[in-house]
């Protein structure tokens, strides 16, 4: 009997698992519901594909928060250095940006994906697109002992595929139009796996008090540049997060890189208390004393708007937000205005819907899988089901951390599946 591994999901985690399986001499077929592989990978790289990050290992690892130690051995074996080496082996040059992020020299995902798929197909990986995974069939044939029977809905209708081991890399629950619809959650729960609820990560938020019609219409889509945000603990006396960067106003709230970086803290605070607040520093390059001094500087006949623009470079969306959040009296009170410029509270009521998020938290609990990411509990009496990518319960900010961990878990699941066949069949 030929030993065969089926990988379900043709995103970065699934493709990396396929690469590892084929290197270990096993037959491998990749199935995906989409017409082509790597749909979300391509869209994520549309504005410049961020492969990984160049920072040292320990700071890099810390970006994974509560799951950092669980991911340590995986990222040790396949981390940022390995991601760069993998890209170089495909003929893709990389460079380190000013923020430490690592990009392909061409900045595009398409050439890298083409090279990757070409290498996989040349190595013998078989691809079956437009095949939606429906679940497992009961194995009624005693001659197929220890083989999984996997049901798909394909272009020709329903079909059943046999496999000796399975790698599930179906993604999280965001961007369902690209294939990550989270429908696998109920399926795995039905088979006894503990799957924590999928939650939006790297997401935008709606503000607690809706923007005025003027602000929403005039400034939705405008960026807050050269700002910083701070998130405090529940008592308000300890910083949990503080970072400078930029983000964008939306018609209902806020989104963008700086918000995404704090999204896990904000989301969890909303879950506990029904709302969350971050503090916005509109002049992070000035101290509170300097800001107060500039606000109090005599302005003569100039308007307050002209004064703030000339003294502190506050205009446009920054000035509009001050007017949005402060009363007329506060705007005219130098002490209160200066305090707001350095720490303007912005309260949030809910994250944007899961499908709008860049990524998801939640998923298969790590307690449910072995060190090689195989489910502890057999499905239909058969072991050899491995989990990779966003299906596992971890999250990370953007900046190359998401892709690196997806690939790392794919490597581990692929190696584990190949080893499973050699030791159990």
Give the domains, in start order, of the chain with CATH numbers: 4-200+360-424 (3.50.50.60), 205-351 (no CATH)
The pTM score is 0.91
Q: What is the pLDDT of residue 166?
A: 98
User: What confidence tens digit (pLDDT) does each residue in 343-388 have?
Assistant: 999 999 999 999 999 999 999 999 999 999 999 999 988 999 999 9
Percent of the chain with pLDDT over 90: 85
Q: pLDDT of 313-349, one tens digit each?
A: 999 999 999 999 999 999 999 999 999 999 999 999 9
The predicted structure's pLDDT at residue 134:
96
pLDDT at 45 over 90: no
Closest CA to 176 of 387, 357, 361, 395: 357
Is the pLDDT at 43 greater than 80? The verdict is: yes
Task: Please tell me the predicted confidence (pLDDT) of residue 146.
Answer: 67
**pLDDT value at residue 425:** 60
Q: What is the mean pLDDT of the chain?
A: 94
Band the pLDDT of 1: cuts 50, 70, 90: very low
Structure confidence at residue 46 (pLDDT)? 72
């Amino acid at each position: 009997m030929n030993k065969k591994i089926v990988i379900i999901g043709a995103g970065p985690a699934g493709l990396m698992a396929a690469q590892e399986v084929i290197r270990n001499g096993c037959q491998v077929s990749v199935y995906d519901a989409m017409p082509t592989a790597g749909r979300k990978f391509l869209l994520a790289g549309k504005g410049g594909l961020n492969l990984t990050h160049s920072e040292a290992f320990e700071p890099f690892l810390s970006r994974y928060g509560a799951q950092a130690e669980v991911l340590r051995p995986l990222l040790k074996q396949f981390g940022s250095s390995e991601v760069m080496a993998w890209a170089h082996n495909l003929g893709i040059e990389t460079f380190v940006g000013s923020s430490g992020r690592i990009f392909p020299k061409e900045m595009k995902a398409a050439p890298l994906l083409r090279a990757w798929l070409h290498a996989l197909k040349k190595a013998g990986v078989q691809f079956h697109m437009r095949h939606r995974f429906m679940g497992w069939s009961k194995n009624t044939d005693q001659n197929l002992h220890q083989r999984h029977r996997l049901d798909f809905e394909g272009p020709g209708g329903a079909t059943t595929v046999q496999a000796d081991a399975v790698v599930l890399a179906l993604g999280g629950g965001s961007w369902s139009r690209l294939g990550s619809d989270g429908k696998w959650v109920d399926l795995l729960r039905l088979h006894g796996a503990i799957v924590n609820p999928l939650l939006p990560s790297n997401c935008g938020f709606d503000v607690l008090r809706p923007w005025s019609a003027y602000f929403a219409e005039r400034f939705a889509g405008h960026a807050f540049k050269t700002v910083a945000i701070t998130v405090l603990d529940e008592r308000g006396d300890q910083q949990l997060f503080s970072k400078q960067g930029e983000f964008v106003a939306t018609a209902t709230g806020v989104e963008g890189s700086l918000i995404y970086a704090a999204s896990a803290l904000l989301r969890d605070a909303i879950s506990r208390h029904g709302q969350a607040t971050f503090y916005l520093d509109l002049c992070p390059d000035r101290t509170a004393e300097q800001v107060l001094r500039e606000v109090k500087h005599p302005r003569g006949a100039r308007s307050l708007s002209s004064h703030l623009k000339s003294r502190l470079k506050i205009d446009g969306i920054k000035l509009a937000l001050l007017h949005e959040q402060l009363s007329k009296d506060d705007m005219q009170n130098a002490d209160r205005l200066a305090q707001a410029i350095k720490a303007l509270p912005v309260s949030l009521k809910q994250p944007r819907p899961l499908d709008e998020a860049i990524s998801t938290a939640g998923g298969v609990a790590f307690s449910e899988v072995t060190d090689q990411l195989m489910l502890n509990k057999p499905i239909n009496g058969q072991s050899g089901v491995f989990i990779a990518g966003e299906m596992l319960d971890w999250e990370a900010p953007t900046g190359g951390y998401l892709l690196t961990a997806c690939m790392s878990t794919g490597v581990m699941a692929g190696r584990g599946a190949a080893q499973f066949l050699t030791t159990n069949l």
